[in-house]
Amino acid sequence: MTVIGIDLGTTNSVVAVTDSNGVTTTIAARDGARIVPSVIHFPAGGDIVVGDRAKSMAAVEPERVASLFKRGMGANTFLANGDDFAVDGKVWRPEELSSLVLKKLKQIAEEHLGGSVHRAVVTVPAYFGESERSATRDAAELAGLQVVRILNEPTAAAIVHGLDSRARGANVLVFDLGGGTFDVTIMRVEDNADMMVLATGGDRKLGGADFDAIIIELMAEHARKEAGIDILSEAWMIQDARDKAEDMKKELSSAETSTRTLSTGARPLPFTLSRAEFEAAIGDALSDVSDTVEVTLEESGIAAGDIDTVLMVGGSSRIPAFQKVLTSLIGREPEFSKNLDEDVARGAAVLATKLSGNADPRSELATMSIPQDIASHGLGMTTVRDARGMEEMNSIIIPSGHAVPASGSGVFCTVEDGQTGIWVRINEGDEESLDFVRQIGEGHARFGRPVPAGYPMRVELSYTADQIVRLLAYDGESGNLIGEVTVEREGALSSVQKRDAMAAIAELGVQ
């Protein structure tokens, strides 16, 4: 059974397959497009439309078009212009919207392969935490796909690169700036193509859509000054500005200036932006990115001069200013692959075939080891700092940067005589202060009898290879299992709701 590789992107998504010999194909939809915009149009009647055609409807029926919903993954609702995104009274959650994109990609793969597909490797930004990862898993389930592995996007890109003999025995920096997220990953590719992620950093709220928004602001200012018109007053004008802003931004990656005519509802108004002006406008992003790369390098323990390859991934890495930042930080020109927009899906497909056991034993694919990822966030438990139980803190059990799968344990004690159990809270983050970590799960560990103060409980906290979190609590003296916490995302669909949503989505026609 074929397992497909999916890059579920903020702005674009891609599906790929790898055959048993390691030959990877990015699958084209019927219209020939291999890149499917992660945009959904809900027409008043008929099938839901995903992709380019949906994108072109955004200016026509903005209230019936959803985009950028990956940014809401892990949250309970997807906000569009400040409100829950809803069409015809149905509120759509981020994982439901993502499931429609996945359903479309599944269909594209099934048409190409001539058979049904039920399993996939799906990529996520390395920086995604537990709740975004589990929402991604739910999205796949709703689309009728079992996730074989959640894979970090930069690791996927590096898998493709690692199969290329030039990258052996090298330190690789993967710079991944897409439509909605930014990731930087530093990894070591050994002579035998073994890969080890050394450090990862990023910003889950930085990407091409933000640069578009900055250009839209400049456009709005221009229209206000030159024509006294607010182009942000109508949804269709905003959408028109958004399309033009993205076009101009892309053009500025190869041209020094770009001009478009703005729709103002009155007379057409030309707007020109130079590359220098654009670079000045995104100055904050440039310095944030530069700082993140520096910090990640420091965490990896590899000096800038010892990076052998800088691999650029994600559409926004085409912006020359980011290439300049990297060249000055690392001292070497970054490399672009021929399939910049497809690398992530291709890497996912390679791993998919590898994990499915379908690789030909004589192929290079069969001997390639599965790359070891690292935890992008630390994991800890809420404990009390002093015996009086006054001050709570986060006790870190698995630090970020630890190779995954990972597990760690700690012994914690009761604070009062007669306690019969301990309320266990799991936190994501690397700080001791509870103000700076995110509580992701809680549960009760019960001793089954009153125990004295200072009685020990041993906990084992683990991350699976997908960075799914699980906690087991044991009686510190008898060794008996006394509690188990699997992290349930707050507000996540219950299993009954999931079953209903799955049935509803299976019924929907998606084009």
Q: How near is the Cβ of 483 to ligand AMP at its closest, in Å?
A: 41
At 149, list the tokens. Answer: 């592995």
SS3 180: coil
CB closer to ligand AMP, 132 vs 341: 341
SS3 407: strand
Nearest to 67 by CA among 84, 54, 53: 54
Q: How far is CA 208 from CA 63, 68, 194, 368, in A?
A: 22, 11, 32, 33
User: Are the C-beta atoms of 456 and 477 separated by less than 8 Å?
Assistant: yes
Contacting ligand AMP within 328-367 (CB under 6 A): 341
CB closer to ligand AMP, 178 vs 429: 178
Residue 55 binds to ligand AMP (criterion: CB under 6 A): no
Residue 246 binds to ligand AMP (criterion: CB under 6 A): yes
* Cα angle: 463, vertex 466, 467; to 5 degrees: 35
Q: By Cβ distance, which residue is nearest to ligand AMP?
A: 208
Q: In Å, how far from its chain's centre is CA 493? A: 20
- Exposure letters 355-384 (e unless 16+ CB within 10 A, then b): bbebbeeeeebbebeebbbbbbbbbbbbbe
Q: How near is the Cβ of 466 to ligand AMP at its closest, in Å?
A: 21
CB closer to ligand AMP, 252 vs 445: 252
CB closer to ligand AMP, 41 vs 249: 249
Site string for ligand AMP, 130-169 (x = CB under 6 A): ----------------------------------------
How far is it, in rounded angstroms, from Cα 412 to Cα 409?
A: 10
CB closer to ligand AMP, 203 vs 341: 341
Q: What are the counts of helices (DSSP H) followed by strands (DSSP E) for the chain?
A: 12, 30
Q: Which stretch binds ligand AMP (CB under 6 A): 154-162, 315-323, 349-357, 496-504?
A: 315-323
Contacting ligand AMP within 249-268 (CB under 6 A): 249-250, 253
Q: Which is it for the CA torsion 394, 95, 68, 87, positive or negative?
A: negative
Which residue in 62, 315, 401, 476 binds ligand AMP (CB under 6 A)?
Answer: 315
CB closer to ligand AMP, 106 vs 318: 318
| Longest CA pairwise span in the chain (Å) | 81
Q: In Å, how far from its chain's centre is CA 116? A: 26
Per residue, the 3-state secondary structure of 129-142, as one string, reads CHHHHHHHHHHHHH
Residue 10 binds to ligand AMP (criterion: CB under 6 A): yes
Q: Which stretch binds ligand AMP (CB under 6 A): 154-162, 225-233, 314-322, 323-331?
A: 314-322
Q: How near is the Cβ of 197 to ligand AMP at its closest, in Å?
A: 20
CB closer to ligand AMP, 200 vs 427: 200
Question: Residues in contact with ligand AMP, total (CB under 6 A)?
Answer: 18
Contacting ligand AMP within 164-223 (CB under 6 A): 178-179, 208-209
Contacting ligand AMP within 263-292 (CB under 6 A): none
Q: In Å, how far from its chain's centre is CA 311? A: 18
Q: How near is the Cβ of 344 to ligand AMP at its closest, in Å?
A: 7
How far is it, in rounded angstroms, from Cα 311 to Cα 164?
A: 13
Q: How near is the Cβ of 208 to ligand AMP at its closest, in Å?
A: 2
Query: In the complex, which residues of this chain contact ligand AMP (CB under 6 A)?
Result: 9-12, 178-179, 208-209, 246, 249-250, 253, 314-316, 318-319, 341
